[in-house]
Amino acid sequence: MYDPNQPYGNNPHQPPPSYGPGYPGHGQRPPGPTPDGQRTNAIVSLILNLLSLVACCNIFGIGGAILSGLALGRAHAAPERAKLLNVWSWVLFGGGLVLSIGTIIVLGVNGAFDE
């Protein structure tokens, strides 16, 4: 017979307490980079680095595209390494973009675009 005053573990017909959905081991992934997120990040970085290489003559886009390709290949095998490669590909993209904008500003101040 069920006794509501009896604590867990003393009644063999009562299940043990649940820890809820957030407890590790209940289908939850541990924190950290996911392979799908790293693949998406690498694809976006690869496209933008190649686009900056073609459209803005960003020579750093070559290195960024290479690092993005490497990150894309390592997204499932080594997600932490892929994350590091993605970060450096974005750094190269941003650095090249800053240098391109700086060059345009310097040329504009010096009158290179005047007729």
Q: What is the pLDDT of residue 43?
A: 94
Question: The whole model's pTM is what?
Answer: 0.67
Interhelix angle 60-73/79-109, rounded to 10 degrees, is 160
Tens of pLDDT along 5-53?
655 555 566 665 565 565 555 555 556 667 788 899 899 999 999 999 9
Residues 6+ apart with CB under 8 A from 25: none
Tens of pLDDT along 57-84?
889 999 999 999 999 999 888 888 999 9
Tens of pLDDT along 81-114?
999 999 999 999 999 999 999 999 999 998 888 8
Q: Which of 39, 35, 97 is nearest to 64 (CA)?
A: 97
